[in-house]
Amino acid sequence: MEIRKVLALRGPNIWANFPVIEAWVDLGRWKDSPSDTIPGLNERLMTWLPSMVEHQCSIGERGGFFQRLREGTYLAHILEHLVLELETLAGVEVSFGRASETADEGVYKVVFRYYEEKLARECLTAAQELCMAAVLDQPFDVPATLARLRETAERNMLGPSTNAIVQAAQDRNIPFHRLNRHSLVQLGYGFKQRRIRASETGQTGAIAESIAQDKELTRQLLQAAGVPTAEGYPVDSAEEAWEAAIDIGVPVVVKPQDGNQGRGVATNLTTQEQVAAAYQAALQESDSIIVEKFAPGNDYRILVVNGKVVAASRREPAQVMGDGEQTIQELVDRENGDPRRGEHHANVLSKIHIDEVALNVLTDQGYTPASVPPAGQTVLIRRNANLSTGGMAIDVTDIVHPEVAARAIDAARVVGLDIAGIDIIATDICAPLESQGGIVVEVNAAPGLRMHLAPSVGEPQDVGGAIVDMMFPPGENGRIPIAAVTGTNGKTTVARFLAHVLQGTGKLVGMTCTDGIYLNARRIDSDDCSGPISAGNVLRNPNVEMAVFETARGGILRAGLGFDECDVAIITNIGDGDHLGLSDINTAEDLAKVKRCIVDVVSPGGTAVLNASDPLVAAMAPYCAGSVLYFALDPANPVIVAHRTAGGRAVFVRNKTIILAAGPSEDPLIPLGKIPMTFDGRIAFEVENSLAVLGAAWAMGVSRDVMIQQAECFATDMAKVPGRFNILEIHGATVVVDYGHNADALRAIIGALDAFPHTRRTAMYTVAGDRRDSDMIHVGELLGDAFDHVIVYEAHTIRGRALGEIAQLVRKGLTSGQRVRVVDEIDDTIEAMEFALDNVHAGELLLLQADAIDETMDFVRDYLDRLHRHIPPPHVTVTHHEADFVTMPAARAWPPAVPVRRALHHPAERCAGVRAGAPRGAKSW
């Protein structure tokens, strides 16, 4: 078994609307060996991971997967279940998996949900090793593997505080994105984004944090604001500390002036020795030490968020209860056996460590770790009650006295923190501090939320929700309007045109497309930016107010979508499809499922803008959670008619005018003659693109006036939409420059050129090397039927083909063309363009394919420039086929355009890991 490639689909994808890993697994020699044929395999798996009995699988009940094992299932399916189980046992419960065979026999796509990529990849590797060990009857150390995976989980998953906030954000449908491997997280998109880092927000001030760190300054400010605090002051030596203790009166507390999490804090000290020892211990944490009056009572922590008390806990120091038999060390070890206790902050409780501070505390009580305390005797291991040093938390939120709450709120405000943990010592939290000598001890920035989320005793409090409510007021989900565009052809033009229309609203529009990333008119990247990373970058941008994403198939298949939800999804067309045969996408139907991903994530209030004249596109309507708006040239399109009858919206052309129709009513928006891009409506595909754009703009609430104004000034000149049906005049000939590079695009262009009067027509064309042979031949056929002269060239995109191979295939197609008389073949793009432009004559029509848009545009500009300055062109080598063309053998019957997909050797597995049924957002293929 070999894992060929592992794709992390980090956004909504063809499998689900949540992130999954897609592993391509080659079963190799095990492809024909179901589980029941491998002796001992099932028993080993069931022994090693007995908890898999919970997996219901397609059977739908407990033990379902084990039943499938006994009946015989394939290793890819077993691998899927192993990964799910390992993720779950590592502490991250997941329950979505798929295993389906590709067109390549014995090669499966094993798909499973994940929350943390590093852990998911490790689980996959471990599952593969475990699976093969079980198959080959080799030993496998399951506990060690699980321990390693748990550590990875603990190191990489969000900590409890951050996670609580992220969960609360998700409950409100606020998107989140981790900015680093630690706890820095972006909530929301574009200009609405906020950041958190654990329980710190982007609004938490650095000055306030440093004040909170300075306990002495905090105390002064608290006092000034009438918040009760302990009397005390900084000291510079152990002797001074003792003098201070006498001055204030024992018992006292000794602590670092800028400490954290109770480190170096010693309380209830009465003797000079204790004070001196505590002073030395505190010095480990800080250079400046404070001595304070010790206030007897319980430790309380009050969490203040945005001027309100949202939770309160009573905290108890780490302690054990003697039983008259075990030593303190043994009692601590037993306590640490509690599964809720973990290292650091990841668990509900922390383990108790007997360190130097603990030894001092024990000594004060007359114990050592080896002492056996009498039954019923409480032994303190710590004096401070911090959770991180093994303490416990008891929720007291509901009983905090309003006066105490008011002091806590004052304390947070005095220091200037939006989120603050106020440490209070009081005998009784139900009574005012002043009445009982209670005090505020400390104000903590970035307080831990663990004690409120999972108190040892009492009700958990929704502190994550309170924090999210502060950052995002009710009704605000941190999202900006997003339009996603995909389809076989026209998507770049539609993305650009839509962005142009949206800019008319005065908003800053971020747009990604094949030509780059644009922020309004400014281009900030010039690579192909139709993938998820570019979309993500736009959503990270704090200036962006609206986004338009061209969403290409490659990115969806490789990494999923770059956004989790969109307001508008536009599918221009699927047609016969393009790029078929790549990435296991072999038919137009397969391709439609890929493109449908953007329809699957339309928000409930959003709209899918679908081409009614393309059956594969129209069929996506049921998958849209929002409403559907159809577009088509023809108002009588049956899909549109039916949709309008049901009260739906549509955009179409009547009397050469674009009509916005809602149910029976029709609103004539703009005559085609006023949209320069359509050349008075002559270029049908540009009319369709315009319909899609205006439909989307309508769905996004853009006003009529803005739509009209922006449509009138959107031109397809070289500057605005380079390589998208740009029309130039060179040597008196009409030259059309277009990026189209597949049969559908070519057919659309040819249709558009029909509206042109020219009699002699030349095309310069190629096909990228990753297309199927049949596609290349088909392009040749189309060219041969529509042009008198065809110049075939080979671009940079031969993608693994031998030189000359593409031209040869296209020429094969040309032989069946009815119109073509002359075929030229030129290796190089630039030379081909040079040749084509040099040999075009006045009154003729030339279609120039802009294979690499920037390069082509630069060349054309340069050519025009040279023309003006009369510089002779460089020499061009041409292989002229006029003579031998007519002697080529007649066209033969070619292999069918779409290879018949072999019936699946093993049907796709659809199963849920632990729970029955598929989780929300899972898709069925």
Spatial contact of 66 and 106, defined as CB atoms under 8 Å apart: no
Cβ distance to another protein smaller for residue 191 or 623 = 191
Site for another protein in 436-465 (CB under 8 A): 445
Cβ distance to another protein smaller for residue 417 or 632 = 417
Q: Least CB distance from residue 28 to another protein, whole Å?
A: 37
Instruction: Rule CB under 8 A: say whether 528 interacts with another protein.
Output: no
Instruction: Rule CB under 8 A: say whether 413 interacts with another protein.
Output: yes
Q: Least CB distance from residue 542 to another protein, whole Å?
A: 5
The tokens for 722 are 């380079």
Spatial contact of 666 and 654, defined as CB atoms under 8 Å apart: yes
Residue 47's contacts (CB-CB under 8 Å, 6 or more residues apart) are none
Rule CB under 8 A: choose which of 517, 639, 791, 914 binds another protein. Answer: 517
Q: What's the rounded Cα separation, in Å, for the pair 798 and 770?
A: 7
- Location of structure tokens 């075009």: 840
- SS3 letters across 828-865: CHHHHHHHHHHCCCCCCEEEEECCCHHHHHHHHHHHHH
Site for another protein in 748-767 (CB under 8 A): none
Q: What's the rounded Cα separation, in Å, for the pair 601 and 5?
A: 26
Rule CB under 8 A: choose which of 541, 734, 742, 849 binds another protein. Answer: 541
Rule CB under 8 A: choose which of 63, 202, 251, 804 binds another protein. Answer: 202
Rule CB under 8 A: choose which of 47, 138, 173, 210 binds another protein. Answer: 210
Q: What's the rounded Cα separation, in Å, for the pair 386 and 262?
A: 6
Cβ distance to another protein smaller for residue 299 or 418 = 418
The tokens for 223 are 């006092």
Tell me, residue by residue from 542 to 581, as one string, x for binding to another protein by CB under 8 A and - for no binding.
xx--------------------------------------
Span interacting with another protein, options 9-17, 456-464, 515-523, 716-724, rule CB under 8 A? 515-523
How far is C-alpha 288 from the geometric centre of its chain's CA atoms? 46
Span interacting with another protein, options 218-226, 352-360, 589-597, 767-775, rule CB under 8 A? 218-226
Q: Least CB distance from residue 411 to another protein, whole Å?
A: 10
Rule CB under 8 A: choose which of 28, 50, 205, 917 binds another protein. Answer: 205
Q: What's the rounded Cα separation, in Å, for the pair 591 and 22?
A: 17
Span interacting with another protein, options 221-229, 693-701, 780-788, 811-819, rule CB under 8 A? 221-229
Spatial contact of 817 and 780, defined as CB atoms under 8 Å apart: yes
Q: Least CB distance from residue 483 to another protein, whole Å?
A: 20
Instruction: Rule CB under 8 A: say whether 204 interacts with another protein.
Output: yes
Q: What's the rounded Cα separation, in Å, for the pair 454 and 356?
A: 28
Cα angle 354, 358, 359; round to 5:
90
Instruction: Rule CB under 8 A: say whether 506 interacts with another protein.
Output: no
Q: Least CB distance from residue 318 to another protein, whole Å?
A: 30
Q: What's the rounded Cα separation, in Å, for the pair 289 and 169?
A: 40
Instruction: Rule CB under 8 A: say whether 224 interacts with another protein.
Output: yes
Rule CB under 8 A: choose which of 180, 655, 887, 924 binds another protein. Answer: 180
Cβ distance to another protein smaller for residue 194 or 643 = 194
Site for another protein in 246-265 (CB under 8 A): none
Size of the site for another protein (CB under 8 A): 41
Cβ distance to another protein smaller for residue 211 or 585 = 211
Instruction: Rule CB under 8 A: say whether 211 interacts with another protein.
Output: yes
Instruction: Rule CB under 8 A: say whether 780 interacts with another protein.
Output: no
Rule CB under 8 A: choose which of 33, 58, 223, 327 binds another protein. Answer: 223
Rule CB under 8 A: choose which of 44, 77, 98, 197 binds another protein. Answer: 197
Question: 10 Å Cβ neighbour count for 642?
Answer: 12
C-alpha distances in Å from residue 562, one per residue of 272, 358, 546, 911? 64, 50, 15, 26
Instruction: Rule CB under 8 A: say whether 26 interacts with another protein.
Output: no
Kindly tell me the burial class for residue 790, based on how many C-beta atoms sit within 10 Å of its own C-beta (0-12, 13-18, 19 or more): buried
The tokens for 703 are 């006003």
Rule CB under 8 A: choose which of 184, 359, 728, 908 binds another protein. Answer: 184
Instruction: Rule CB under 8 A: say whether 200 interacts with another protein.
Output: yes
Q: What's the rounded Cα separation, in Å, for the pair 143 and 457?
A: 31
Q: Which residues pair with 304 in a beta bridge?
A: 309, 420
Rule CB under 8 A: choose which of 206, 803, 883, 886 binds another protein. Answer: 206
Instruction: Rule CB under 8 A: say whether 46 interacts with another protein.
Output: no
Q: Least CB distance from residue 476 to another protein, whole Å?
A: 19
243 membership: H or E segment, kind and range: helix 238-248
Rule CB under 8 A: choose which of 46, 132, 133, 225 binds another protein. Answer: 225
Cα angle 447, 450, 452; round to 5:
90
Instruction: Rule CB under 8 A: say whether 237 interacts with another protein.
Output: no
Q: Least CB distance from residue 189 to another protein, whole Å?
A: 12
Instruction: Rule CB under 8 A: say whether 525 interacts with another protein.
Output: yes
Task: Look at the chain and count its residues.
Answer: 925
Span interacting with another protein, options 194-202, 338-346, 351-359, 757-765, rule CB under 8 A? 194-202
Considering only CA atoms, which of 69, 44, 43 is closest in space to residue 55?
69
Rule CB under 8 A: choose which of 172, 540, 731, 821 binds another protein. Answer: 540
Instruction: Rule CB under 8 A: say whether 201 interacts with another protein.
Output: yes
Cα angle 814, 817, 823; round to 5:
45
Kindly tell me the burial class for residue 561, based on how many C-beta atoms sit within 10 Å of its own C-beta (0-12, 13-18, 19 or more): buried
Q: Least CB distance from residue 276 to another protein, whole Å?
A: 24
C-alpha distances in Å from residue 348, one per residue of 153, 158, 196, 449? 15, 14, 21, 10
* Phi and psi, residue 858, nearest 5°: -60, -40
Q: Least CB distance from residue 203 to another protein, whole Å?
A: 7
Rule CB under 8 A: choose which of 6, 133, 146, 179 binds another protein. Answer: 179
Instruction: Rule CB under 8 A: say whether 209 interacts with another protein.
Output: yes
Considering only CA atoms, which of 543, 548, 572 is closest in space to residue 562?
548
Considering only CA atoms, which of 265, 66, 332 is closest in space to residue 911?
66
- Location of structure tokens 């609206």: 546
Span interacting with another protein, options 323-331, 514-522, 663-671, 849-857, rule CB under 8 A? 514-522
Q: What is the arrangement of strands in the sheet containing 232-235, beginning at the earlier edge strand?
A: 232-235, 289-293, 252-256, 266-269
Instruction: Rule CB under 8 A: say whether 414 interacts with another protein.
Output: yes
Q: Least CB distance from residue 630 to another protein, whole Å?
A: 36
C-alpha distances in Å from residue 125, one per residue of 118, 139, 142, 301, 498? 11, 16, 13, 44, 44
C-alpha distances in Å from residue 554, one per residue of 486, 583, 712, 870? 11, 9, 33, 43
Cβ distance to another protein smaller for residue 5 or 522 = 522
Q: Least CB distance from residue 234 to another protein, whole Å?
A: 11
Tell me, residue by residue from 123 to 162, as one string, x for binding to another protein by CB under 8 A and - for no binding.
----------------------------------------
Cβ distance to another protein smaller for residue 195 or 351 = 195
Q: Least CB distance from residue 461 to another protein, whole Å?
A: 24
Cβ distance to another protein smaller for residue 207 or 802 = 207
Residues engaged in binding another protein (CB under 8 A): 179-180, 184, 195-197, 200-211, 214, 217, 221, 223-226, 410, 413-414, 416, 445, 517, 519, 522, 524-525, 536-537, 540-543
